[in-house]
A = this chain, B = another copy of it.
Amino acid sequence: MSADPTLRREIPDATVARLPEYLRTLTMLAEAGVASVSSEELAASVGVRSAQLRKDLSHLGSYGVRGVGYEVETLALEITRALGLTQDWPVAIVGMGNLGHALASYSGFVTKGFHIVALFDDDPALIGEQVGDVTIRPSWDIEGCARELGIAIGVIATPAPAAQTVCDALVKSGVHAILNFAPSVLTVPAGVEVRRVDLSTELQILAFHAQRRVGLPSPAVVQR
């Protein structure tokens, strides 16, 4: 492996997962006119320990000033660069039911860095519908048009039984990154990154913790 000092460092997954948080907070600080933060302050806003923040940032390079802190604009730019958000990523959503519609019009989606270029569904009643400035296409056209639209990230919001078929079509079209909202495990070739978001999984994890509470101080009196 090359030991290029400027870029192509190995960034741990756990760090990558926190970078978006840091970036969001830095963006808010920048909008509030804050020019500089210490690791202590930034960590507090994000809800991590300052040592963790510093270690995370150290994987990107050395962008702080000892005795002073980090320049907000600079750090935000470096994280943006590290995450690959200096370019625009074309995204497709497959499955335009309630969830698909909600995702397509979700403000957080239009965040700098992403651009919805295609919507797919296999329900004839939905095909042709205009959502924002994109028209819903039939799912069976994925392989026909996904590659020429340059889709890099696919979002699957179909019912579970359709998810694997849709996933296969996306992968065949050159998509290497998939966000799966369907409650099913996807099988993909090596090199394709899948992340899953599942409501019932999250609720069940919360139920576990809620259950642990039986017999604990129920009143929400703030205490320490």
- Name A's B-contacting residues (CB within 8 A): 11, 16-17, 19-21, 23-25, 45-47, 82-85, 87-89, 91, 97-99, 101-103, 105-109, 111, 113-114, 147-148, 150-153, 159, 171-179, 183, 185, 187, 189-193, 195, 197-213, 216-224
Contact = CB atoms under 8 A, between A and B. Distances in A.
Contact of A220 (B171, B203, B210): B171
Within the oligomer, what is the number of copies of this chain? 2
A114 B102 CA distance: 22
A98 B200 CA distance: 19
Nearest to A187: B47
A194 B49 CA distance: 18
Contacts of A23: 204
Given A106-B199, A152-B220, A177 B210 contact: yes
Contact of A175 (B87, B176, B220): B220
7 contacts: A20-B205, A24-B183, A24-B200, A83-B204, A85-B204, A89-B210, A193-B209
